Amino acid sequence: MLNDLLKGKTWLLWDDSTPAGTITLDTEEPVAEGYQPVWPAHARNEPALYVRRVIVNRRYAGYGLGAGLLDWAAHVAKENYGATSIRVDVWTTNVQLHAYYEGQRFIRVAGRDPRELAGYPSQALFERKVDQSGSGYERLFIGGDGSSERSARLWRH
């Protein structure tokens, strides 16, 4: 995590002086121990932005900040990187998180043979096309939707 902070890949979502959430965006795909790519070769042929560590402070649960961060990531992927997808790898056993990403318009992608990545816990692969992004990210910025809902600021750390 410190490495991503130092490289400017991690963004922090603030509500006044309170950290409300974070997201890490990376053009480099994740690798398992032994430097093996997590995503199968056929999936690596199209440009994608990889999403990691989407975290929302529990105090802000229910405000849709996670969904907004993912919509923002899809927007950034398309506009800044020319990517066609955003991708995330999730712990294989965390079925609740699988359901969350599926609810955020991600689809599960067939991965590599699990024996190839023995010991790597995040082999559940999900992808969302950037043209499926909503405008939920607009409310992450102060005055984004003009309502009285809580607004926050997104800053690169």
Token pair 């990376």 is found at 26
CA dihedral 124, 87, 135, 68 (to 10 degrees): 60
Quick check: 101 pLDDT over 50? yes
101 or 131: which carries more pLDDT confidence?
A: 101
Per-residue pLDDT, averaged over 58-72, amounts to 89
Of the candidates 99, 98, 85, the residue with the CA atom closest to the CA atom of residue 132: 85
- How do residues 44-58 score in pLDDT, each as one tens digit? 788 999 999 999 999
Quick check: 40 pLDDT over 80? no
- Residue 39: which pLDDT band, with cuts at 50, 70 and 90? confident
Strand 31-32 with 153-156, pairing: unpaired
SS (H, E, C) 64-113: CHHHHHHHHHHHHHHHHHCCCEEEEEECCCCHHHHHHHHHCCCEEECCCC
Per-residue pLDDT, averaged over 73-85, amounts to 92
Quick check: 147 pLDDT over 50? no
- Residue 151: which pLDDT band, with cuts at 50, 70 and 90? very low
137 or 96: which carries more pLDDT confidence?
A: 96
Q: How far apart are the first and last CA of the chain?
A: 12
Q: How far apart are CA 30 and CA 17, in angstroms?
A: 31
Q: Which domains does the chain have, with CATH numbers?
A: 2-137 (3.40.630.30)
Per-residue pLDDT, averaged over 87-93, amounts to 88
